[in-house]
Chains A and B, each alone.
Chain A
Amino acid sequence: MNPSDERIPDLMKRALGPVADAGLKRDLWPRMRARLDRPAIRLPWWDWALAAAIVLCFILFPAAIPAVLYQF
């Protein structure tokens, strides 16, 4: 190991410093509760139908895949 490599950890510690106070300042349960109560995102049936139709198109006409990808 290069001698200066041994000094790097010390330099890092002195320059950046460890986290002074890693203690939690408040109870996060109310935020967690709100997250749990948030309704899950549900896609309507027509979105699924559209996705299925696109997949079906790609299966039936695979030559269309490069043409679609080219647009991106």
Chain B
Amino acid sequence: MELLEQFTRGDSEAFETLFRQFQGEVYGWIVRIVRDPGAAEDLTVETFWRIYRARSRFDPQRGFGPWARRIATNVALEHLRTRRNETTLEDDSPPACLRWSPPDPAVGAELREKVAAAFGKLPVKLRATATLAMIEEAPYGDIAEALGVSIGAVKSRVFRAVRLLRGDLQRMGVEP
């Protein structure tokens, strides 16, 4: 608690201690949303930069981890929005990040590309929620807290994401 109070008062050593303690957790959360290790490192630094600037608004009574995760989620969503616009301008192929992690070898390359393309077309908030809930299997409570919404809203977003994905996949000739 004393460390958090020192941090809110602008103590740079307290900030460094918190950074070293939480950088791995924040990075791990961001990389699961953006699925790009290089971008996740940059976004982790950006997250802590915003945390540092907002230190006077932090309430030490509340945990540092959930607060950091909330800011990290906003930073990651902004990144996805920016990249989505850039990708739309360039081409329609799925973002490279969606092909980053090792998938099930039983799923063919063509199907994988179609699934990635459909996933890349989802609105950013739905995509982040669906990534965390369906692929990463993060607890709904954690997702809700990080997105600043209720668990019911997370379930609703997952439901909408599934509907959109099904429609897009069917248009591409994939029957889930």
The chain A residues found within 8 Å of chain B, CB to CB, are 1-2, 4-5, 7-9, 11-20, 22-25, 27-29, 31-32, 35-36
Given contacts A22-B31, A24-B27, contact A4 B175 (CB under 8 A): yes
Task: Please determine whether B136 and A15 come into contact, CB atoms closer than 8 angstroms.
Answer: no
Which 9 residue pairs of A and B lie closest in terms of their CB atoms, listed nearest first?
Answer: A15-B115, A14-B104, A22-B28, A9-B134, A17-B103, A17-B101, A24-B27, A4-B176, A24-B24
Task: Please determine whether A15 and B16 come into contact, CB atoms closer than 8 angstroms.
Answer: no
A sample of 22 cross-chain residue pairs with beta-carbon separation below 8 angstroms, ordered by A number, consists of A1-B159, A4-B176, A7-B176, A8-B165, A8-B169, A12-B119, A12-B135, A12-B165, A13-B104, A13-B137, A14-B103, A15-B103, A15-B104, A15-B107, A15-B111, A16-B98, A16-B112, A17-B104, A24-B28, A28-B41, A28-B45, A35-B49
Nearest A residue to B100, CB-CB:
A19
- 14 further contact pairs, Cβ within 8 A, besides A14-B106, A15-B107, A17-B103: A1-B159, A2-B166, A7-B176, A8-B165, A8-B176, A9-B134, A16-B103, A18-B136, A19-B32, A20-B101, A22-B31, A22-B32, A29-B16, A29-B23
The chain B residues found within 8 Å of chain A, CB to CB, are 12, 16, 19-20, 23-24, 27-28, 31-32, 35, 37, 41, 44-45, 48-49, 52, 98, 100-104, 106-107, 111-112, 115-116, 119, 130, 133-137, 159, 162-163, 165-166, 169, 175-176
